[in-house]
Amino acid sequence: GTFCMPLYIPYALTGTWHLGRSLCKLWLVMDYLLCAASVFNIVLISYDRFLSVTKAVSYRAQQGIMSSPAMKMVAIWILAFLLYCPAILFWELVAGHSVVAADQCYAEFFNNWYFLLCASTLEFFVPLLLVTYFNVHIFHNIQRRQRRGSVQDCEPPRSSSLSWRFCGLPGPGASSPSSEAEDSVSSLTRSCRPAVVPNGPSRTETGSTALKRNLSVSLCSRTGSKLQRDKKIAKSLAIIVCVFAVCWAPYSLLMIIRGVCQGKCISNSLYEVAFWLLWINSSLNPFLYPLCHMRF
| Segment holding 47, helix H or strand E | helix 20-54
How much is the pLDDT for 184?
40
Report the C-alpha gap between 251 and 36 in whole angstroms.
13
- Answer yes or no: is 194 within a domain: no
Q: What's the domain range around 223? A: 4-147+218-292
pLDDT value at 96 more than 90: no
Domain CATH number, residue 35: 1.20.1070.10
- Answer yes or no: is 111 within a domain: yes
- Answer yes or no: is 16 within a domain: yes
- Answer yes or no: is 116 within a domain: yes
Domain count, the chain: 1
Position 81 confidence tier, pLDDT thresholds 50, 70, 90: very high
Contact between 263 and 111 (Cβ < 8 Å) = yes
pLDDT value at 46 more than 60: yes
Position 47 confidence tier, pLDDT thresholds 50, 70, 90: confident
Please state which of the ranges 6-20, 104-118, 189-203 shows the lowest mean pLDDT: 189-203
Position 63 confidence tier, pLDDT thresholds 50, 70, 90: low
How much is the pLDDT for 80?
94
Report the C-alpha gap between 287 and 296 in whole angstroms.
10
How much is the pLDDT for 173?
46
- Answer yes or no: is 103 within a domain: yes
How much is the pLDDT for 168?
46
pTM here is 0.68
HSE, CB side, 13 Å, CA atoms: give it for residue 151. Answer: 0
What is the phi/psi pair of residue 167, to 5°?
Answer: -115, 120
How much is the pLDDT for 180?
41
Mean pLDDT of all residues in the chain? 73
How much is the pLDDT for 224?
55
Contact between 287 and 238 (Cβ < 8 Å) = no
How much is the pLDDT for 291?
60
